[in-house]
């Protein structure tokens, strides 16, 4: 993950909120992934306009004692490997 990368969801993937389950979902062709609240929050910020640094800074405001930069970096690397973000 680079500091100036501007992650965005892949074009074939949609982020939706399931009101019945009160969960965020990644909807893909032939697959749905139920996200935990943290993953949903990170992916909502991945709109292609924010850099990873800006995403981390925004999340760090709400979680000042957590290792946000490491956690977000690991998560984004993992979902990038899955092809969910570009």
Whether the pLDDT of residue 1 is over 80: the answer is no
The CATH number for 42's domain is 1.10.10.1150
- The verdict on pTM exceeding 0.85 is yes
Backbone angles phi, psi at 50, to 5 degrees: -95, 140
Domain of residue 22: give its range.
Answer: 14-82
DSSP letter string, 28-72: ETTEEEEEPHHHHHHHHH-BSSS-HHHHHHHHHHH-TTS-HHHHH
Residues 68-85 have pLDDT tens digits of: 989 999 999 999 999 999
pLDDT in tens, 33-66: 999 999 999 999 999 999 999 999 999 988 877 7
Q: Return the number of other C-beta atoms located less than 10 Å from residue 30's C-beta.
A: 4
**pLDDT at position 67, please?**
87
């Amino acid at each position: 993950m680079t500091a100036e990368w501007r992650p965005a969801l892949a074009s074939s993937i949609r982020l939706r909120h399931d009101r019945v389950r009160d969960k965020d979902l990644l909807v893909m062709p032939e697959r749905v992934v139920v996200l935990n609240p943290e993953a949903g929050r990170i992916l909502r910020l991945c709109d292609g306009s924010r850099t990873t640094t800006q995403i981390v800074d925004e999340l760090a405001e709400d979680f000042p004692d957590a290792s946000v930069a490491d956690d977000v970096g690991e998560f984004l690397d993992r979902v990038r490997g899955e092809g969910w973000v570009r």
